[in-house]
Amino acid sequence: MPSETPLSPEETRRYARHLVLKGFGGAAQQKLKAASVLVVGAGGLGSPAVAYLAAAGIGRLGIIDPDTVSLSNLQRQIAHTTASVGSGKAESAKTFAENLNPHVAVDAIPEAVTDANAAKILAPYDLILDGTDNLITRRLVAKTSTAQKKPLVSGAVSMFSGQVTVFAPHLGGPSHDALFSDEADDENLPSCELNGILGPVTGVIGTLMAMEAIKLITGTGTPLIGRVLVYDARDAQFSEIAY
């Protein structure tokens, strides 16, 4: 990651609660400012992740999504508003992040991740978050992150539950296919469009994704490498699976 850079007086006031936080403080905040993060998907998971990463003071934030905002998104995709309906999700999320924190440089990338562009798109960023809803994109993002030796924070949701984990084979963790085998395909996975999703579930998982990213950047705590954290909203329970 780039070298740490000093905080301006306005940033010092903005991040005051981080700066007085024991075990975090100014050193961690400077690491956030020096870091760059790519959020793949500006939907239910990407929205809260973008919100908390921008608010936390990530230096550079990339947001990639080829879709446009629809009315049915607004029940859970909090980076977008009614006025955003019909506009591109990447640009809408960029506007949201810049309004929240003008100290963050935001890149809007209104395209899909493909075999042809994945390496180029991921290259400028230190860490990747994947909140997409299909295994083809997930596998491609995971493959590219592994090739570039970058941590990948991965989240997924369906109905009343969600999960989050971190893939970092370069740090000794298991690979993406240890959790999602080659035999798994989208037809066997639940679809939010068909089965629904309770809005706040995406907020819980997306926020946990942002938390894992912040931990990895600052070296705070123990990241979810080789572990899946599962949230059940109906029973208000968290459980953990090792893999």
Residues 173-198: pLDDT tens digits? 999 998 887 766 666 666 667 789 99
Structure tokens at 140: 């491609």
Task: Please report the pLDDT score of residue 161 as a whole number.
Answer: 97
Quick one: pLDDT band at residue 4, thresholds 50, 70, 90? low
Q: DSSP for 19-40? A: HTSTTTHHHHHHHHHH-EEEEE
Question: What are the structural domains of the chain?
Answer: 9-242 (3.40.50.720)
Residues 97-154: pLDDT tens digits? 999 999 999 999 999 999 999 999 999 999 999 999 899 999 999 999 999 999 999 9
Q: What is the CA 139 to chain-centroid distance, rounded?
A: 16
Structure tokens at 190: 């639940």
CA distance 136 to 144: 12
Statement: residue 3 has pLDDT above 60 = no
- Whole-prediction pTM value? 0.94
Give the helix/strand (H/E) hosting 47: helix 46-56
Quick one: pLDDT band at residue 239, thresholds 50, 70, 90? very high
Task: Please report the pLDDT score of residue 73 as a whole number.
Answer: 97
Residue 76 class from Cβ within 10 Å (0-12 exposed, 13-18 middle, 19+ buried)?
A: buried
CA distance 46 to 128: 11
